[in-house]
Structure formats: C-alpha cells, structure tokens
Structure 1
Amino acid sequence: MLFVTVYATQFLLTASLGVIFAYLADLQDRYDLTNLELGTIAAVGFIAGLVSQLLLSPLVDRGHHRAVVWVSVLSAVAGAFGFVLADSTWSLVTSRALAGVSFGLFGLVARKALIGHDISGSGSKVGGLLSFGVAGFVSGPFIGAALSGVSFEAPFLVTGTVMALLGPFAAILISNSPIAGTAVDYSDLLILLRRPRVQAAILVHVGVWGLVGMFDATVDRYLTDLGLSSTEFAIGLLILGIPFMLLPPHAGALAERLGGGRVAVPALVLFAPAVVLYGWVGGLWTFIAIGVAEAITESYSEMGAQVLVLEATGVEQAAMGTGVLEAIGLAMAAVAAFAGPSLYGQFGPRWLFGVWGVVCLVLSGIVMLRLKAVKIPPKGITLSH
C-alpha cells in the first residue's frame, strides 16, 4: 500500500508541475509577462525546492519525517489553488514557489520511507519514484489540454482537489513507516560534501538539472515559435517521457550492481551531444527523436548519481545525502530557468543548448577525475565512506 500510494502521489505532484510547465507561454501571453518575469516564475519553483531541501533534509534523517510530509502535502494543495486565484506576477511567483516546496520535500520523505531500514534494492525503489514522477510530468500537458476548454484555471482546480484528497492519505502512510533515524546536524552536510562520490554525483546533477531548468523555461516558447500546436507539444512530451517511465528502475538496479560511477560517467558523456542537438529541432519529429535520445541518457545519468550518493551515505543519511544532491541540482536548474528565456531571445536555441552540451562534456571529465580518488566497489550500495 505504501509503494502504490507514494508513487501515485508523486505522479499527481509532478502532473500539476507539468500543467504549469506547458502553460508558460500561455502565462506570458495571458499576463503580458516580460522574459525576465517569465524566467522568475520558472526559476522560483526550483529555488523553493532547493531551500526547503537544504533546511529540512537533516530533520528527516533525525526521524522528523511526519512534519515534513505534511508541509509538502499542504504546499501542493495551496500551490495548485494559488494558480486558480492568481491575478498578478507575484501571486504566480508565490504559487510556483509553493509547488516547488511540495515537490522537493515529498521526494525527500518518500525516498526515506521507501528505503526503510534496508539499503539493498534502493536503486530500483528510487528509480520507480522517478518513473512515476516523470509519468506525471508528461501527463500534465494532456490534463491541461483536456481541461483548458473549460477554463484556464480548470486544470489547477482539478489537480489541487485530487491532491487534497490523496495527499493526506499518503502523509499518514509515510508518517507511520519505519525509517532509519540517526543523530545528524547541519555540520554533517559539510562532511558529506567532502566525499568524492558525493562531489561526482553533484557534478552529474549540475549537468542534468541545468538542462532541466533551461528546457522547462524555454521549450514551450521554442516549439511555439516553430509553429507547433499545444496538442503537438503534448504528444511530443509524452513520447519523450516514455524512456523516463520505463528506464529508471532498471538504471538504478544496474548502478547498484555495477557502481554508480560506472553508470553515471558514460551516460553523461552520451548526454552531452543529445543536449547540443536540441538546438537543431526543426519540427515535431526531430524534437521527438532528439528528446528520446536525451531522455535515455538522462535516466542513466540521474540514477547513477543517486546511487553514488547512497554509496556514500548508507541508509542512515539517505535523506540528507539525496537532499543535498537535489538541492544543488535545483539551484542549477533555477539559474538556468531564470536565464533561459533571455538567452533564448538574445542568442537563439543553437547557442543556448550547444554551449550547455559542451559544459556537460567538460563535467563528465571532472567527474572521472573525482572518482579516481575512491575505489568503486563491484556492487554499488555497500559503503558509506
């Protein structure tokens, strides 16, 4: 019951984010937003997730997961209904921030509850959470398209209502789940950051989440400028999401078996040219072909990075380790999302995605150097040093 409810809630949370993501161009046109205002709305969700994860992840490892999961659920409901009531840039920013808090914190407590007291099998469990999250995200545009004929606010009203019904049930189950609590404090974050595996995982996340932020903030505008309709965009995004839905459990299990670094490094090397090719999209089918290649490499990069962190933390500090990893990824996404619309408008997609692809290739080289500082064991999740 825990797995089903947690995965369903993660699906719903990210579906509501997917609605927002697909509505960015509509928000800009509806409220006459500048590129700077649009970038702010896109970025603030990542920033809110970053801050909440850094502040609260040690509390989850100390056993205070009950309070954190309720904050997540209530923020999700408030964020969804905030978009129903929003009438200004700042109310949109606030609603997006609440959605970001919810997304960041729910993943934190969900991973801790799913892992429980046994670190073995964590790769596939965490991969399953990612699969359902992506499935929800790519379903968001379809929810928006199906309900937009009723009104602009209808998709947010529906997702907020369903979350108000399902969220408390998930919060109760997570609150009653056994977790591995340990005495940690904020100084332990600095200790984690000095571990080569964690540093390598962070660099992988910087590359992946830099693209996520850039993609989030610009792709709706980009494809609209190419002449694609909202329906075509939704179809393309759904097809792109298929690898994310299917591969993360397998990628997580593979990383757990071989070692996170042995999966993350080659995946990030292959991820870089896929990012570059995003700048050369000419229509729906090239968008789909490039996007599927990028989604496959991103799935393995992401799960390799998460297993690298679990190798370093073990079960006791899993929330803090994955929280730091995602917080830094969210920080990178926030910067990319904030700058993305302006850079897209000034330089165009080829420079925007091309430069980031080169950055990812450089990061893969640095990751390899950091992993030389440790001996990676044959099985991934066995050590905590």
Structure 2
Amino acid sequence: MAVNTTPSTARSFWPYFVVTGSLSMGYGSLFTLLAEFRDKLGFSETELGFIIAVGFLAGFIAQVGLARFADRGYVWILVHGGVLIALVSMLSMAMTDEVWQFTAARFFLGAGTGATGPAIRRILITRDPPNMGKNLGTMGAFDISGFVLGPVVAGLLAEFINLRAPFLFMAGLYLLIYMWIFRLDLSAGATATTKIPVRRLFRIRPLNSGMLAGAAFFTTIGVFETSWAVLLDDLGASTLIIALSISLFALPMIPLAPYGGKLAQQKGPMRVMPYSIMGAVVCMLVYGFVEFVWVLIAVSAAHAIFDAFTMPAGQLAIAISAPTEQAAAAQGLFGALGLIIAGIAAVATGAVYENWGAEALFTGASVVMVVALAGAIALGEELMGPDGRSTKEPAPASS
C-alpha cells in the first residue's frame, strides 16, 4: 500500500473533519433539549434515557455491521448514506411530539453517524500513519467543536423561536454537507481482498486493552449526556445555562485533543489513559455530591481536559493494534462497544436518577469505570512503549 505522508496530505484532511463535526453538532444539540422534552412534551426521565439509549444502540449496529465495508472499498457509500440518513432523522424530529417517533428518529440519527465515523477514520489511518494519533485527535477536536456549537445553537433557537427550530436548522446544515461531500476524495488506501471475520480482532491482546479503556470512557458519556441537563435543571439552571455548561465542558477538548493523540503516539496509549480516566472518575464522584451549579460546571471543565487525552489515546490504541486491512472494522468495533456500553449506561441512568438520585448514579458509574480501567491496564503492556508499542509486536488478527 502506497501512503502519501506529505504535509499537504495532512492539511487536506480538514474537509473530512468538518463532516464529522457537523454530524456531532446535531448529535450534541439533542442533549441540551432533554429538559425541554420533559417539561413541554411530558417525557419522563426514564423515557429520555430510552431515547438516548436507542441512538447508542443504532450506532452499535451500524459500526459492527457496516464499518467492515469501508475496508472493502465502500467508504463513498457509507459517508453519503450516513449523512443522508442523519438529514432525514432531523426532519423527522422536527415534525413529531410522540415518544416512539422521537425514538425512531434518534435511532436513524445514531445509525447515520455510526456509518460515517469509522469510514472517515480509515481515511486518516491509511493516508498518514506517522501522524495518525494527531489526526485522530484533530478529528476528535472537530467532533467536540460541533458538540460545543450544537447546544448553543439549539438552546438559542428553542428559547427564541420554538422547540422545532433546532431540528429544522440541523436538517438544513446536513443538506449543505450532503451536497458538499460529492466534491471529496473518499479513497482510503488498499482494500481487503478477503472477508476477515470481525471476531478475529478479539484475539489481539492490546486491542482488548484499548476496548476496556474505551468502556470506561463511554460509561462517562452515557451517564453524563443522559443526566446532565436534567441534573442542572433540577438545581435551577435555565436552558441557556445548560447549553453553556455543555459547551464549556467541551471547549478545553478542542485544542487539547490533537495534543493528546500526539502524546499518546509518542509515549504509548496506556501511559496516558490510566491517568486521564482516573481524573474523570474523580470528577464523576463530585457530580453526585455537589449541588452548586457553577461549581459543577467548573469541575466539568476539568473533566473535559482528562477526556481530551482519553478519547484520541483510545482510538490510537485500536489503530496501532489492528491490521491495516481491518482498520475501519477495528475502529467500528471500538465505537460500537463504546456505544452499547453508553446505551446501557443511558437506560440505567434514567432509572437510577429517577429512583435513587445523583449520589447513587455517579458513585455507581465511577465504580464501573475503575473496574474497566483495571482490566485495560492488565492487558495493556504492549501499548506502553514509544509510538504506542513495546518491543514485542501485537499478535496478528489471524493467529
């Protein structure tokens, strides 16, 4: 496989980052409206948790079932199809007020995002391997940038127009993105010539370490995204303050995620993630026991700094552990495992918060994160050396 690693190649990735950032913008806009769904549409906390969880489940199905096709040369179809499906889902959310209809639309939004992400990450991994950590981190920064802007836009549109306006705005943005991607080169290196079962990836010990670290990270995502708006609403925060808090949570990740990916490639992913995940655990514990809105927002900013290192380090751990012919499948598996964990966490979050409160919710989530991290450390010896490797190479997927 011939790889172009010139600086111009690295710079040319920004249009792909914009695509993923735009999808994340719509994804993030939904979470800041959860309290509005409860107050204006009468959805319960448990129903809100289920709506979020269904999106995670859809992403899981898409990434497990579809990511492998990016390795076989279908990146174009996955990217175009994913954006189009997300567009239709936003239009659907703008025209409904029933739980089951929101649930169906959320499912397709998760599916569209899940189909697109691994395909674009394969482009980054195969075109510029020496800088994959930085590039994956930069893609993560664009994702977070979209997540920062989405809540602000959604909050303003919902506050000054109506609850439908954010979804119509995002549908219009996705239409522009869909027209734009026809101009992009969606080639992604040599494609696999044989069908390699995804389950073979589980034979790679360091890849399993990265999966467990990802499990800890996505537990945070599932719990935080499902409970944060409701938690602050219960403490008296307005919709705009909730939107601002989500933006402030994500803001430090924008400049730090590329650096986090670069550091993980230089030092090794498992020399970075144990510290960043434990920092996030401490923040999660604070959320359950502090009742001052601005203190919680300040702690969430510190939490974002830790996540800026965890997120790209986890993706890098998977990228350097998997064979190139399964690059997208491995990224899809990583994302899918994380999404199903986040989905389970979302369902549990709604029920636990409704019945036992914030203390039980965030304490339980912290315990789960520590257990997952312990497993990642036990399996992660080969992810502790320079460039993310020890002197012993990971076992091949076919072994």
TM-score after normalising by structure 1? 0.94
Separation (CA, whole Å) in 2 of partners of 1:256 and 1:164: 36
Aligned pair partner of 1:99 in 89, 93, 109: 109
For structure 1, the 5+ residue unaligned runs are: none
Secondary structure of the corresponding residue to residue 129 of structure 2: coil
Distance 1:266 1:190, change over 3 A: same
Aligned pair partner of 2:70 in 57, 60, 68: 60
The 5-angstrom pairing of residues 170-249 of structure 1 reads 170=181, 172-175=183-186, 177-185=187-195, 187=197, 189-249=198-258
Q: What CA deviation, in whole Å up to 9, does each residue of 1:212-240 have, x standing for no partner?
A: 11111111111000001112112222211
The 5-angstrom pairing of residues 22-37 of structure 1 reads 22-37=32-47
Distance 1:381 1:366, change over 3 A: closer
Q: Tell me, yes or no, if structure 1 residue 150 matches structure 2 residue 161.
A: yes
Superposition deviation, residue 168 in structure 1: 3.2
Secondary structure of the corresponding residue to residue 227 of structure 1: coil
Q: What CA deviation, in whole Å up to 9, does each residue of 1:112-164 have, x standing for no partner?
A: 12233442101111111111111111211211122122221111111111111
Percent identical:
27
- Residue 236 of structure 1 contacts residue 284 of structure 1 at CA under 8 Å; is this kept in 2? no
Distance 1:249 1:375, change over 3 A: closer
Instruction: Read off the aligned partner of 1:16 and give its amino acid letter.
Output: G
Superposition deviation, residue 270 in structure 1: 2.5
Q: Tell me, yes or no, if structure 1 residue 306 matches structure 2 residue 336.
A: no
- Residue 32 of structure 2 contacts residue 155 of structure 2 at CA under 8 Å; is this kept in 1? no
Secondary structure of the corresponding residue to residue 120 of structure 2: helix
Separation (CA, whole Å) in 2 of partners of 1:113 and 1:381: 22
The 5-angstrom pairing of residues 4-153 of structure 1 reads 4-148=14-158, 149-153=160-164
Aligned to 2:177: 166
Aligned to 2:386: 378
**Structure 1 runs (4+) greater than 4 angstroms displaced:** 381-384
Aligned to 1:294: 303
Separation (CA, whole Å) in 1 of partners of 2:385 and 2:157: 50
Distance 1:184 1:216, change over 3 A: farther
Q: CA RMSD in A?
A: 1.9
Distance 1:381 1:67, change over 3 A: farther
Q: What CA deviation, in whole Å up to 9, does each residue of 1:21-62 have, x standing for no partner?
A: 111121122322233322211111110001000001111111
Superposition deviation, residue 174 in structure 1: 4.4
Instruction: Read off the aligned partner of 1:83 and give its amino acid letter.
Output: M
Superposition deviation, residue 371 in structure 1: 1.8
Aligned to 2:324: 315
Superposition deviation, residue 384 in structure 1: 5.6
Aligned to 2:271: 262
Instruction: Read off the aligned partner of 1:80 and give its amino acid letter.
Output: M
Superposition deviation, residue 283 in structure 1: 2.5
- Residue 73 of structure 1 contacts residue 168 of structure 1 at CA under 8 Å; is this kept in 2? no
Superposition deviation, residue 314 in structure 1: 4.4
Distance 1:184 1:249, change over 3 A: farther
Name whichever of 114-123 and 242-251 sits farther off: 114-123
Separation (CA, whole Å) in 1 of partners of 2:99 and 2:196: 34
Q: What CA deviation, in whole Å up to 9, does each residue of 1:342-366 have, x standing for no partner?
A: 1001111111111211222222222
Superposition deviation, residue 375 in structure 1: 7.1
For structure 2, the 5+ residue unaligned runs are: 1-10
- Residue 51 of structure 2 contacts residue 102 of structure 2 at CA under 8 Å; is this kept in 1? yes
Secondary structure of the corresponding residue to residue 386 of structure 2: coil
Name whichever of 93-102 and 273-282 sits farther off: 273-282
Secondary structure of the corresponding residue to residue 228 of structure 1: coil
- Residue 14 of structure 1 contacts residue 134 of structure 1 at CA under 8 Å; is this kept in 2? yes
Count matched residues.
382
Distance 1:375 1:132, change over 3 A: closer
TM-score after normalising by structure 2? 0.91
